[in-house]
């Protein structure tokens, strides 16, 4: 009874908080820092980032920090993503998770976008003046999660967001929170809910906002520098609610079915279905489909680039016979419209 009351209280809290920050599809494009919605991890990318209920370890810091509590020992993950093939944009990420005593876990992740060298253009040189620049989009997440005896885990992530060029910068703080609940004789049923990217508005500042204007009303016209203020923008807050169920085929083989609902404050809601098959605890195949709910009949396509299919695989090589220490190679592909999809590759080490 106490356990059910705790679960109900946590779920209602997430629903009320999400409603306070909710938006609607008509506000699409009004938020910023959309890199917070990008997933640099290959394993969850192969499931279209819908495994809110079953995600665990380092990757959970991105989707549902409650899953951090289920890491075993120390986990280190290195990830790289070719983002939307043809755009020459890459994502690089590193993360570490550590199991603590008394059911606690600690995690740290760092993600950066690589946009390459972009030519500098001006009104005098619209084709470029020979110089280049590279924007810096970096965010770092610090997480803590705790697993309670009644199989409920909760987690919290504090994320710092930095966006900058040579003469402009913006900084913000976001908070992610999540809960996971498992049930059944072998913990085969899983439920998860997470609220992400709730934080301070961001605004650009710096010399890049300065403009020079000639004051004609003076006896001797001359140019003065004026500083304009950048408009602030909100973060793309997201609510995820997911379920998963493990069909245990044998001691080392299982099939996991996954369902997820995503409520976006600044775009259409989405529904995702997926499955993951584990063979001999060494090979994993996964696939998912994400559908965007179109709320109106407008001729304008408001759906995000990631809809449709995603797929991936993992190969796990144990260091020891007991399987507690291993190294894994993950690959994930997400179809996109337009462009040619995204390819994610990651190396996971558990020791």
User: Read out DSSP for 300-319?
Assistant: S----S--EEEEEEEEEEES
List C-alpha distances in Å: 72 to 149, 156, 203, 246, 321: 16, 18, 40, 19, 16
The size of the chain, in residues, is 351
Cis before 190? omega within 30: no
- Nearest Cα neighbor of 258 from 45, 57, 51, 62 is 51
Is residue 264 within 8 A of residue 34, CB to CB? The reply is: no
Burial environment of residue 300 by CB neighbours within 10 A (0 to 12, 13 to 18, 19 or more): exposed
Q: Per-residue pLDDT for the chain (351 aa), expressed as one digit of tens each? A: 445 555 555 555 555 554 544 445 667 778 899 999 999 999 999 999 999 999 999 999 999 999 999 998 999 999 999 999 988 899 999 999 999 988 899 999 999 999 988 888 888 888 888 888 889 999 999 999 999 877 899 999 999 999 999 889 999 999 999 999 999 998 999 999 999 999 989 999 988 888 777 776 666 667 777 777 888 999 999 999 999 999 999 989 999 999 999 988 888 889 999 999 999 999 999 999 999 877 665 556 666 788 889 999 999 998 877 667 899 999 999 999 888 999 999 999 998
pLDDT of residue 304: 77
Residue 43's CB is within 10 A of a number of other CB atoms, namely 27
Residue 186's CB is within 10 A of a number of other CB atoms, namely 9
- Nearest Cα neighbor of 50 from 216, 59, 268 is 59
pLDDT of residue 23: 44
pLDDT of residue 6: 52
Is residue 259 within 8 A of residue 243, CB to CB? The reply is: yes
CA dist., res. 257 & res. 54, Å (int): 10
Whose tokens are 């690089």? That residue is 92
CA angle at 154 for the pair 150 and 155, rounded to the nearest 5°: 155
Whose tokens are 């997400």? That residue is 334
- Nearest Cα neighbor of 294 from 25, 27, 49 is 25
Q: Residue 296: which residues within 8 A CB-CB, separation 6 or more?
A: 25
- Nearest Cα neighbor of 82 from 330, 287, 340 is 340
Q: Which CATH architecture has domain 2-350?
A: Beta Barrel (2.40)
- Nearest Cα neighbor of 307 from 280, 346, 273 is 273
pLDDT of residue 2: 46
- Nearest Cα neighbor of 285 from 258, 312, 317, 310 is 312
Is residue 93 within 8 A of residue 79, CB to CB? The reply is: yes
pLDDT of residue 225: 75
List C-alpha distances in Å: 287 to 13, 46, 292, 308: 31, 6, 17, 11
3-class SS of residue 266 = coil
Beta strands in 200-253 (DSSP E): 210-215, 222-227, 238-248
pLDDT of residue 22: 47
List C-alpha distances in Å: 332 to 146, 212, 311, 335: 29, 48, 6, 10
């Amino acid at each position: 009874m106490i356990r059910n009351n705790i679960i109900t209280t946590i779920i209602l809290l997430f629903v009320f908080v999400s409603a306070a920050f909710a938006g609607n599809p008509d506000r699409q494009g009004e938020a910023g820092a959309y890199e917070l919605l990008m997933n640099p991890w290959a394993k969850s990318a192969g499931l279209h980032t819908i495994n809110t209920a079953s995600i665990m370890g380092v990757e959970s810091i991105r989707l549902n920090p409650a899953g951090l509590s289920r890491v075993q020992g120390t986990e280190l993950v290195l990830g790289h993503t070719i983002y939307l093939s043809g755009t020459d944009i890459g994502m690089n990420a590193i993360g570490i998770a550590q199991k603590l005593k008394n059911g606690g876990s600690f995690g740290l992740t760092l993600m950066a976008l690589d946009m390459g060298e972009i030519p500098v253009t001006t009104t005098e040189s619209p084709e470029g003046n020979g110089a280049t620049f590279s924007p810096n989009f970096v965010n770092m997440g610090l997480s803590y999660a705790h697993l309670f005896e009644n199989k409920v885990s909760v987690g919290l992530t504090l994320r710092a967001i930095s966006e900058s060029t040579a003469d402009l910068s913006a900084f913000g703080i976001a908070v992610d929170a999540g809960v996971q609940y498992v049930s059944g004789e072998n913990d085969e049923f899983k439920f998860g809910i997470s609220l992400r990217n709730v934080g301070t508005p961001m605004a650009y500042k710096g010399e890049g906002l300065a403009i020079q204007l000639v004051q004609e009303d003076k006896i001797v016209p001359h140019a003065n520098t004026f500083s304009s203020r950048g408009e602030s923008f909100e973060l793309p807050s997201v609510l995820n609610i997911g379920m998963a169920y493990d069909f245990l085929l044998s001691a080392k083989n299982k099939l996991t079915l996954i369902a997820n609902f995503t409520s976006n404050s600044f775009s259409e809601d989405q529904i995702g279905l997926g499955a993951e098959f584990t063979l001999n605890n060494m090979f994993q195949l996964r696939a998912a489909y994400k559908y965007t709910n179109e709320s109106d009949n407008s001729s304008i396509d408001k759906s995000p680039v990631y809809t449709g299919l995603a797929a991936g695989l993992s190969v796990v090589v144990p260091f020891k016979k007991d399987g507690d220490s291993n190294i894994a190679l993950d690959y994930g592909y997400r179809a996109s419209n337009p462009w040619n999809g995204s390819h994610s590759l990651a190396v996971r080490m558990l020791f």
